[in-house]
Amino acid sequence: MLDAIGLTADIDEGDMAMDAIVILQVIKADGSVHLVKGRSDAVDWVTALGMVTAAQAVENSGYSLA
């Protein structure tokens, strides 16, 4: 599904993805728009909250924290 919408993530050679959280904007059949969150199997709610909070800090900093 993520390939179909052109999702990519740039990581360095030799780096390995450990966990992932994906936030999707979905248009329902009735035309309403919703957000849906998915996460990898190993991510518990505490880790998910931490990752989302860190991602928000990176977005808000203009990527200076990336």
User: Total structural domains in the chain?
Assistant: 1
Q: What is the DSSP letter of 4?
A: G
Determine, yes or no, domain membership for 27. no
| Predicted local distance difference test score (pLDDT) of residue 44 | 95
Task: Kindly report the pTM of this predicted structure.
Answer: 0.73
Determine, yes or no, domain membership for 56. yes
Taking only the tens place, the pLDDT of each residue in 31-51 is 999 999 999 999 999 999 999
Determine, yes or no, domain membership for 13. no
| Predicted local distance difference test score (pLDDT) of residue 30 | 98
Determine, yes or no, domain membership for 58. yes
Give me the domain span that covers residue 49: 40-66
CB count, 10 Å around CB of 18? 9
Query: Who's near 62: CB < 8 A, 6+ residues apart?
Result: none
Determine, yes or no, domain membership for 5. no
Determine, yes or no, domain membership for 29. no
What are the angstrom distances between the C-alpha of 20 and each of 3, 15, 28, 64? 15, 14, 24, 21
pLDDT, mean over the chain: 91
| Predicted local distance difference test score (pLDDT) of residue 3 | 81
- Write phi, then psi, for 39 (nearest 5 degrees): -150, 155
